[in-house]
Structure 1
Amino acid sequence: MNNLNIDKFDKPSACVDNLHIQLKNAVIMMIDDEPILMEILQSFLEDEGYQNFINIEDSTLAMEKLKLNPPDILLLDLKMPIVNGFEILREVRSHELLKRIPVIVLTSASDAATKLKALELGATDFLAKPIDASELALRLRNTLTVKAYQDQLAFYDSLTGLPNRARFMDRLDWALMNAIRYKDSVAVMNLSVDRFKEINDTLGPKSGDLLLQQIADRLSGAVRFTDVISHTGRDDLWLNIARLSGDEFSILLPGGAAAEDSAYIAERLLGVMKGVFVINGHDVFVTASIGIAVYPDDAETTDSLMKNTSAATEFAKHKGRDNYQFYSKDINNKAKERLQMESELRRAIDLQEFVVHYQPKINTKTNQVMGMEALVRWQHPEKGLLSPFHFIDIAEKSGLIPGIGEWVIHEACRQNKVWQDQGLGDLKISVNVSPQQFIAKHIDRTMAAALSSGMDMKYLTIEITEGMLMGDEERAIDVMKGIRKQGPKLSIDDFGTGYSSLSYLKRFPLNELKIDRAFIIDVPTKREDCAIVRAIVAMAHSLELSVVAEGIENSEQLAFLEGIGCDVIQGFYFSKPLPADEFEQYVLARNKTRCVG
């Protein structure tokens, strides 16, 4: 439930100065069988600065919409066919999660009986039809203001400024309802300050309160940091921290990879708790124990989820404190395995355990190797050679991928420069750039790594995915133009699996597109796939783009692609990705050249 979204402030006390701004963010739901009236009212309220509206003409859908998207305030017509406003008001006030929503009744009736009945059912205020716009604005502002302060008193902890248990449980109820509806997951983390009672008894209750305030600030700040956001993809986690009671804090993680996200966040929180706290001139050191339970694996109700989270916290304390534990042993083990892998990845960067393999790219006209795609591998000291399948996802979530990507592009370009100097040919090298590398603060470092190799950048092709171009298209174009100015060409990787829009092929400064192997697998046997591939090649050539097909596994696929004019092909039919020395021998044999170096 929104509770006026007042918790968007850093601290609830901020609403004294910012309340008039925050009120404009309120979600306003109107239920009325007169759509023209709703349009007029919305237009007026938009002029007043309000921006979030849900309009419902069919009153039979009202409760379903209310449960799915609970508003901050409801404007309710009384006289509607099939389901009238009285019935909706009765249901709203009897629903545990909706009963606190203020309801302004819209009515053309002037008799006392109608108003009395609406008041008995829980109406907050009245507006007589026809609606006076100025009066509507005043009633709306006053009602929302009262709600905001009521929410602050009812749902926030006066000591720390964080949401309290009531607010947290309210959110958890809604999170579980949505998880059930969308078959999603929800995680609850419970953080207990280790030996808080000893500190409280030694330094006194006032010092204990100061410590709790500093802990609350530190926890809120911890989940704002970009490294946590890069793990989870969430930039509003701080909104879901609550102080339940005493020295207990909780975090709600609705949706997504809840168990995995909570493991990363738990690590972060344990880390920030270890810094010194200065309380009335005393240096205080504390640790925390964190318990985590996940719906639906560990529990299916609010009460059982909270109970199991507490049990996991107690287990963490028994394990020696200053650690986190999942209620589920399997999830616990998997989360720790991933964190262990992240730790090993960090070490691998320092120890340079990565290697680059090269998959040949064949020119269909000359049948010779014209270049290669650089693909990273991890030479794990215990597990052997690992493909990206085993570690790229973790590298992305841990924010390590830009560093790995910079090393790969430097090494690939450096190696290609060596081959060129040896006379292997003017081979072109393709390197995939991750979405994290494509943002402004990383792309400059990526390009600097490539340039430091000494290779002429005209031999470099940077591959990006379709999804990286969507959203802020102007920014993407600026980044791509910046890359092109330094010499490299640009290629769209896995074309056909995303937006595949002709408009972006025209807008973006591209040189090449790469047809995803999913379309190649069934050619030439499937007519539909043949038609798609043929159309992609024709479209690309009409835009003066080169076409690469990947995933070639047999001679029939090769013959088809050569027949429709595909420019470059790669796949296991020619060669798997090879270590540098084997790739060199492959090129020498296929291109029948001699190394002069």
Structure 2
Amino acid sequence: MSMKNFLFKSDPAPASDPEKIEPELDALATVPTMFAPGEEKLSQQEFRALSPQESVWPHGSMSKLPESLIMMVDDEVLNIEMTQAFLVEAGYRHFASTDAPETAVEAMRRQPPGVLLLDLSMPKVSGLEILEAMRADSVLRHVPVIVLTSSTDPQVKLQALSLGAMDFLSKPVDPSELALRLRNTLTASAYRDYLRQHDPLTGLPNKQRYRRDLAAVLASAQDEQRAGALLLVGVDALGRVNDALGRASGDHLLQRIGKRLASCVQTEAGGELSAGDVNPTLYRLDGDEFAVVVPHIEGVHSAAAFIGKLLDDAAVSFQRRGSPELFVTCSIGVAVFPTDGADPELLTGNAGLALRHAKQAGSHRYEFFTPRFTQVAQSRLDLSAELRRAIGRDEIELLFEPRVELASGKLLAAQGLLRWNHSSGRAIDGDELLDLARGSEMNVALIEWVLDRLRLSAGKWRASGLQPVPVGIGASLANLPLTELSHLVSAAIAGGLEPRQLTLELQHLGGDHRLHDADEKAIVALRRKGVRLALDRFGSITSVADVRLITCDEIKVDASFAHQVENNPLNQAMLLGIGDFARRLNLTCVACGVDTGSRLSFLRKNGWQQGQGRVFGKPLAAVPFAAQWLSKSGRSQRVELD
């Protein structure tokens, strides 16, 4: 039989005995046909116009449409055969069918189709029952269904659509309409699948796709006894870019970084980091994080060159009109499988811990996961929970470390230090305690407590006839806005704290080098009240760019610069350069970490102004500090420096 005869039954039957032909025609007339009789065979040009390659959504994933499985459920074998022949000629390569509707759902569970062509009026199991069963299945409910039926009952049509049918065609079906509906349904389904598996901002595979692919890579790695790696890439200080320049700028930054990372990852396809036809793949996860799944590495350090290239390529300059140019970097946490985890959740968690440690150690660096990170994380979690109760238990105390004039040894000010006397006997103080408070969102409560204790201590000093000195209090702006810090200080001043006795030592100002108008007003208000402002840990947590950002009174050089300054030419040059920088700007410059006599001698020899450290004495509580350092005459005590 010719294709024309098979598809459309348009040619008359050959001449024969009329008595034999009439019963055959009567029998055919009772069979519902797929296509209307009398149709002409479509031309090749018409077929090309209706083919799946001519999709209305031009995207790479559309190339897979001809490979989509088309399944048909119809109790008439002739309808199935006619449809299959037509679709094969139209360009679809995979077709499945059944004329036993009771087996349809189980067949689809074994191999879900791309589209189901479903007849409604069938014996044993109706099309509506099949739709209802599909709707109850977590996988099959997403299969698009085109209903083909000779029923004209509008209630039947509404019921089918309410059960999830995407389209409805009445028999006999126009073949070109079927081809168009099928192509458009597949295109819409492919677009839906694309959106479900891709990040709309960057176009990269998303977290859902990441979980599925990572599970597959881990399974194949276990079968083949090979190692691989998961790299979590975090953008440094993205939150501050969003706060200062707006979310649109942050999104634009993520798009640029995503393109750079994708270009770097694509160069590794087919190389030593691939496993067969599985290549390193980049994903966009939540917020400021990307992930790279590396299917194969020979050793822990074999991917070091690739990781270093990722870090370099992900560093971008960023500038908005009217704003200074920013340089944004990324940090990377690395977990190796199967050593650091053989399931997606554990491996991702360990890579996240490594990323957190990389960011804490400084921006633009990477860290490999070690079991110690888990122990540290658990310890920090326990301590964070206890910190909330530590203030009420009176386990925290405020100590005072002297700051002296290096030329004379005269006391000029004090550094307020927090110490947590933990019930285990361990003392937690300094930056460790501040970081712990910031991570557990206790920094606001801790600053309030410090300001209140400073007010009480200064009040007792004055009541005893002693002359208080300015005290520096550390304040991290990592998750505490300047406006809120200003409110806390204003409340303390209203409660009796003298502004001239307070110096706010600021950390973690951020990498955007721009202040909101409200923050600028907060700075002005604090200075008008008489509160001094300092940049703490200068050269490490704060920088020269922050001097342009905030009008400050002093800078406190990070203690790391004083380490081995006696015999380290680099540290010597940097210290002297920072000191000269401060003098030119008329800023008080304080050297921290002056813990040995040789460090003190170097600083004095080079005309350094002020310093603090163990060489001047250990930090003391309010009463012993007053007894040793404060006087009733108004003249500060001195320490013997020679």
TM-score in terms of structure 2 length: 0.44
> Per residue, is there more helix in 1 or in 2?
1
TM-score in terms of structure 1 length: 0.47
Q: Which structure has the larger Rg over C-alpha atoms?
A: 2
